[in-house]
């Protein structure tokens, strides 16, 4: 059994015939069989598809042909990303039997690069949650902090990487759903700028916020996956034509002299004392690496949670209207159309999704649109302007990923406000459309992981990855 592989070491092992791609896939499926009952991190496995891809890679090796960058590398895909012929549920009963007829662009690009897709990972229903306790198929267990949540909504993707049940995984991030699970599971996890990665094939939650990104144990692997999935896609009109940098090739660049902004608003009340201690140690490490640490202000941070939960729920209300028993989802028969809609959605959606649909419908309703949704969009612009001004003074911004370490399963499930506040440091970058990564920054009492978040300016992914890699190589995870 080969453990703790990186993308490079997995590919090299296959290229040098130490192991075949089929054998490697089989090894990972054995691990999944042994641990998934405990973790509940995979919802659906795609063994037939995985072995077909592995055989294609092995045929290239046998023929002595050059291998693509992720040849034979086992990966996992969050269950809100479409996979042709493989069940895609969004963690919801209403899509319990949905099998997409096409692949998302990110899936097509990864398989073209040789990746072997092992299966689909558990997540909060329709990506709505901060703990992965909202899935219709049960919560995911945190593999590195037993009894705690893995973070959400991409908790399954973070858990399979942390448990070595995949070399890397794809997640989605609307308000922190890649970065916060990465922090809670002690791995690296990144969202690119809005428009950097195609959303074609992503089942939408909030279309102006949703992003797809990679999770992996090593920053270099995050960079490799991001380079493969990034770039213009004609199928997604919001994807950008901005050129994709060679992210892996730029990791070794020196970080001396890099100006790192630390916003005072992110280190105030409400932060766990253990998290504060680790983040301060992380900032000290950046200083030792030769970075210039500057205090900055992001004055509209206090309004970010309220703004996010107005805009995101409004867009969710619109996007989820299609799940009505007519266009999508199993139908609950009734004696009238309205009754059928009500019963279908009542049975198919979980409580958190219903809560957000109700909130979103309310803020868009007649008489309230200007007071809530329109005002939310105006504050969003102010938050984006805060960042724009900050990036005139600094190159990147360093913050905590979460104000708290992984919390106990069930601890916040009946307190939505406390659950929402777990996203207070991640939603700002989401609203502003900026790239951000979470990298491991030590563990509280040697047990609970802490993440350092690094933001960059729009399409500044290379600089974000460069600093994250330097931090990782300097021992940031061991602080």
| Three-class HEC string of the chain | CCCCCCHHHHHHHHHCCCCCHHHHHHHHHHHHHHHHHHHCCEEEECHHHHHHHHHHHHHHHHCCCCCCCCCCCEEEEECCECECCECCCCCCHHHCCCCCCCCCHHHHHHHHCCCEEEEEECCCHHHCCCCCCCCCCCCCCCCCCCCECCCCCCHHHHHHHHCCCCCEEEEEECCCCCHHHHHHCCCEEEECCCCCECCCCECCCCCCCCEEEEEECCHHHHHHHHHHHECCCCCCCCCCCCCCCCCHHHCCCCCCCCEEEEEHHHHCCCCCHHHHHHHHHHHHHHHHCCCEEEEECCCCHHHHHHHHHHHHHHHHHHHHHHCCCCCCCCCCCCCCHHHHHHHHHHHHCCHHHHHHHHHHHHHHCCCCHHHHHHHHHHHHHHHHHHHHHHCCCCCEEEEECCCCCCCECCCCCCCHHHHHHCCCCCHHHHHHCCCEEEEEEEEECCCEEEEEEEECCCCCHHHHHHHHHHHHHCCHHHC
437, two tokens: 């990564």
Q: What is the pLDDT of residue 376?
A: 96
pLDDT at residue 224 greater than cutoff 80: yes
Q: What is the pLDDT of residue 416?
A: 86
Q: Does domain 7-247 have CATH number 3.90.1300.10?
A: yes
Q: What is the pLDDT of residue 160?
A: 98
Better pLDDT: 445 or 125: 125
Q: What is the pLDDT of residue 391?
A: 98
Q: What is the pLDDT of residues 122-153, one digit of tens each?
A: 999 999 999 999 999 999 999 999 999 999 99
Q: What is the pLDDT of residue 302?
A: 94
Mean pLDDT throughout 310-335?
91
Q: What is the pLDDT of residues 99-108, one digit of tens each?
A: 999 999 999 9
78 is catalytic: yes
Q: What is the pLDDT of residue 417?
A: 84
Mean pLDDT throughout 381-394?
98
Q: Where in the sequence of the chain do the CATH 3.90.1300.10 domains occur?
A: 7-247
Q: What is the pLDDT of residues 230-259, one digit of tens each?
A: 999 999 999 999 999 999 999 999 999 999
177 is catalytic: yes
Quick one: pLDDT band at residue 270, thresholds 50, 70, 90? confident
pLDDT at residue 54 greater than cutoff 70: yes
pLDDT at residue 366 greater than cutoff 90: no
Catalytic member of 20, 46, 78, 157: 78
Cα separation, 375 vs 382, in Å, equals: 11
Quick one: pLDDT band at residue 435, thresholds 50, 70, 90? very high
- Rounded to the nearest integer, the mean pLDDT of the chain is 96
pLDDT at residue 166 greater than cutoff 80: yes
pLDDT at residue 7 greater than cutoff 80: yes
Catalytic member of 20, 46, 92, 153: 153
Mean pLDDT throughout 375-390?
98
Chain CA centroid to CA 314, Å: 21
Q: What is the pLDDT of residue 421?
A: 87
Catalytic member of 13, 46, 130, 177: 177
Quick one: pLDDT band at residue 1, thresholds 50, 70, 90? low
């Amino acid at each position: 059994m080969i453990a703790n592989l990186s993308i490079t070491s997995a590919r090299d092992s296959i290229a040098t015939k130490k192991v075949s791609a089929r054998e490697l896939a089989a090894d990972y499926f054995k691990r999944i069989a042994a641990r998934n009952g405990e973790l509940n991190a995979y919802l659906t496995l795609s063994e037939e598809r995985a072995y077909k891809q592995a055989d294609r890679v092995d045929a290239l090796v046998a023929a002595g042909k050059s291998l693509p960058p992720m040849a034979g590398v086992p990966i996992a895909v969050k269950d809100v990303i479409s996979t042709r012929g493989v069940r895609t549920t969004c963690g919801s009963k209403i899509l319990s039997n949905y099998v997409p007829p096409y692949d998302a662009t990110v899936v097509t690009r990864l398989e073209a690069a040789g990746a072997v897709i092992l299966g689909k990972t558990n997540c909060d229903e329709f990506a709505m949650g901060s703990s992965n306790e909202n899935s219709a198929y049960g919560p995911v267990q945190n593999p590195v902090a037993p009894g705690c949540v893995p973070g959400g909504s991409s908790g399954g993707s973070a858990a399979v990487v942390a448990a070595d049940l995949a070399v890397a995984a794809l997640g989605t991030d609307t308000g922190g759903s890649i970065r916060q699970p990465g922090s809670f599971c002690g791995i690296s996890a990144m969202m690119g700028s809005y428009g950097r990665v195609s959303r074609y094939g992503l089942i939408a939650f909030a279309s102006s916020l949703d992003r797809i990104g990679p999770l992996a144990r090593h920053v270099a692997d995050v960079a490799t996956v991001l380079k493969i999935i990034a770039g213009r896609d004609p199928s997604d009109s919001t994807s950008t034509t901005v050129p994709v940098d060679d992210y892996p090739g730029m990791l070794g660049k020196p970080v001396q002299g890099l100006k790192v902004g630390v916003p005072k608003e992110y280190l105030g009340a409400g932060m766990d004392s253990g998290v504060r201690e680790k983040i301060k140690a992380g900032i000290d490490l950046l200083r030792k690496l030769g970075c210039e640490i500057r205090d900055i202000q992001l004055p509209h941070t206090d309004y970010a949670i309220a703004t996010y939960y107005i805009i995101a729920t409004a867009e969710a209300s619109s996007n989820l209207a299609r799940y009505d028993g007519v266009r999508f989802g199993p139908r609950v028969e009734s004696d009238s159309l309205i009754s059928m809609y009500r019963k279908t959605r009542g049975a198919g959606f979980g409580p958190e999704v219903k809560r957000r649909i109700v909130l979103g419908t309310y803020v868009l309703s007649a008489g309230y649109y200007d007071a809530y949704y329109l005002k939310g969009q105006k504050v969003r612009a102010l938050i984006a302007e805060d960042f724009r001004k900050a990036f005139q003074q600094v190159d990147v911004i360093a913050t905590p990923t979460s104000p708290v370490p992984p919390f106990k399963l069930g601890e916040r499930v009946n307190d939505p406000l406390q659950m929402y506040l777990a996203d207070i440091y991640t939603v700002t970058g989401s609203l502003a459309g900026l790239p951000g990564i979470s990298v491991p920054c030590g563990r509280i009492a040697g047990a609970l992981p802490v993440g350092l978040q690094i933001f960059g300016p729009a399409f500044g992914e290379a600089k974000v990855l460069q600093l994250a890699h330097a931090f990782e190589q300097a021992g940031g995870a061991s602080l």
